[in-house]
Structure 1
Amino acid sequence: MEKAIGNIFIDFWDVLKQTFIKWNEIDPFRQSAIVAFYAIFSLPALLFIIIFVAGYFWGEDAIEGKISEEIAGMIGSEAANIIEVMVAGAAEQEDSQLMFYIGLAIVLFTSTTVFYHLQKSLNRVWGIEAQPEKAWLKYLIDRVFSFGMVLSIGFLMLISLVVTSLLTAFGNWLQEYVPDVLMVIFHILNILISLAVITTLFALMFKVLPDAKIKWKSVWIGSFVTAILFEIGKYALSLYFGETDPASAYGGAGAIVLILLWVSYVCLILFFGAEFTLQYAKKFGHGVKLKEGAKWVGIQKE
């Protein structure tokens, strides 16, 4: 039994080492910067759709408040205010019906851009190149999947908000009748719910976006590891941004710089998690198959 457990830890350590080697080879800082660049343009439309979808069931003000609270906690209130202004700009309706539909098309297109380019980066991380016979059809399908990711985020945020709100309300009522130690349990439950939502989001990214077929077992393990790293990184970044002001030298553009930095850091973690998922699947024999029209290239070809 002890030997079996020891072998598991050895195999897990081997996966981590191989993950770091391969992750370092794909130039993760450059890939993260690319996604962060497109995220700036996609963010207003992306958040607008998320607020619209989740807000339909829970109320747009509640969803917008939740998002602002999360952003302010991670990168500061100034950046949160800038994002609110950007989202408000994306939500403005045109008087003309024609301009309304044009604006809607632009919102739908820009909201999926960051996931479209995230797919390209994930393909590079996994050493995959898509060469479909009908490139235009592949492009449209990728955009549809990207929009599906946007909707998924909206529904995941809705579920998270509903469950945490119910737990908070129940906890406030229960606080009058139970010891404080039980309230710690509710706090832990909130953390676990957040971790479950993030894990599910990463799982959807790893399963849907790359041009490869990977088993759910590998996806869930890799997504859980990525979610833990994300929560640790989020906490570390909130402390860092709280103690220092890395964007102070950029004046009025400082909030935008903070957003770029935060997205870049998150992408570094995401790409490490994606590489871990691939190496885990290879190590434990779960296998990764290519989708139609894709091939192995670069560092993962071996």
Structure 2
Amino acid sequence: MTIFRKGWRLLKATIEEWQVNDASLLASSLAYVTVFSLAPLMVIVVMVVGAIFGESTAQEQIVAQLAEFMGEEGAQLMATAIENMRAEAEGGPIQLVISLGFLIFGASGVFSQIQHALDRIWEVKPIPERQWLHFLRKRLLSFAMILAVAFLLLVSFVGTTALAAIVEYLNELAPGLGYVWHLLRWILTFTVTTVIFAMMYTILPDAEIEWRNTVIGAVITTILFLLGQALFGLFLNQTDFGSAYGVAGSFIIVITWIYYAAQVLFIGATFTKVFAQQRGVPIVPSDYAVPISHEERHSRSARQKRQKSPPLRLRHPRR
């Protein structure tokens, strides 16, 4: 079988699995949860990164990163939300503890939703008798992902600063090397984004997956993610959401980008599952989970076929 036929078979199987698992609906649910979880997540990241760089500097860098993905209007909306939540967290020790509790619970919601969706796509589910243990594990893993994202952003900030210093030094030796900065910065962004997706696929689901399958899936997801970022930025430069939708324009930008990112995440997860199956190293449940039953799998396929079937046309009897 040629590489093109293998690629076509892989693509076809990925699309079929994506439809069976209602990945589009899962992306909608994740986008809804993320709208409420993104600001608390960013506040915690600002606190963690700000412990080293200062919270003001950390917030400026994070907002600048968000602007690359969702445009200036969307980033400013998130900056306002971060400012408001940081203001709410200020106060006495009791208010600070309560605010941090709400922030952690809210921020972990998005990763809990991702875990649920990945379990569905990879056809595993937690052991029913251990639901309470699964809930605690899910929240702990979500909090671990928050810290991991904060650490990777910290690495990104340090790397960006170091690269800027290196390129500035090289420009003094040989002027006109500005393109080197853009290339190195893109490589750093690609690497950090790939690591984040790989960690999501490895840590969050109740499944065990071979590292090679994880890396391939994370790379494909990152390519789609950064491609969407470039196209979305080009689209925003050619349109004016502010004048067309007014105050709601910024919110529409944010929710649109989040929905696309969720779609990409689940397309990558579906691709990873199909790729692992075709390699002969399928994804298996972890010690805390079991595979879904044949009846559940058949029910999903039957529901998808009913959605594809054309509506029945009622014929009225002639008079």
TM-score (norm: length of structure 2)? 0.86
Listed as ranges, the matches of 1:20-99 within 5 Å are: 20-92=15-87, 93-99=89-95
1:247–1:173 CA distance, 2 compared to 1 (3 A): same
8 Å Cα contact 2:17-2:270 kept in structure 1: yes
1:246–1:131 CA distance, 2 compared to 1 (3 A): farther
Pairing partner for 1:102 from 77, 98, 104 = 98
TM-score (norm: length of structure 1)? 0.90
**Structure 1 position 247, deviation (Å):** 7.2
SS in structure 1 opposite 2:291? strand
**Structure 1 position 78, deviation (Å):** 2.3
1:172 is matched with: 168
1:193 is matched with: 188
Q: Deviations over 1:226-275 (max 9, x none)?
A: 11111101111111122224576543232222211110011111110011
Of stretches 65-74 and 134-143 in structure 1, the one that deviates more from structure 2 is 65-74
What residue identity is the alignment partner of 2:81? M
8 Å Cα contact 2:35-2:255 kept in structure 1: yes
Separation in 1, partners of 2:203, 2:109: 15
Q: Deviations over 1:198-249 (max 9, x none)?
A: 0000000001111110011100111011111111011111111222245765
8 Å Cα contact 1:122-1:271 kept in structure 2: yes
Gaps of 5+ in 1: 1-5
Separation in 2, partners of 1:9, 1:53: 46
Identical-residue share of aligned pairs (%): 32
1:3 is matched with: none
Gaps of 5+ in 2: 302-319
SS in structure 1 opposite 2:277? helix
Segments of 4+ moved more than 6 angstroms: none
SS in structure 1 opposite 2:125? strand
2:121 is matched with: 125
Of stretches 149-158 and 75-84 in structure 1, the one that deviates more from structure 2 is 75-84
1:122–1:249 CA distance, 2 compared to 1 (3 A): farther
User: How many aligned positions are there?
Assistant: 296
Separation in 2, partners of 1:264, 1:246: 17
Separation in 1, partners of 2:124, 2:285: 8
8 Å Cα contact 1:171-1:183 kept in structure 2: yes
**Structure 1 position 173, deviation (Å):** 2.1
1:281 is matched with: 276
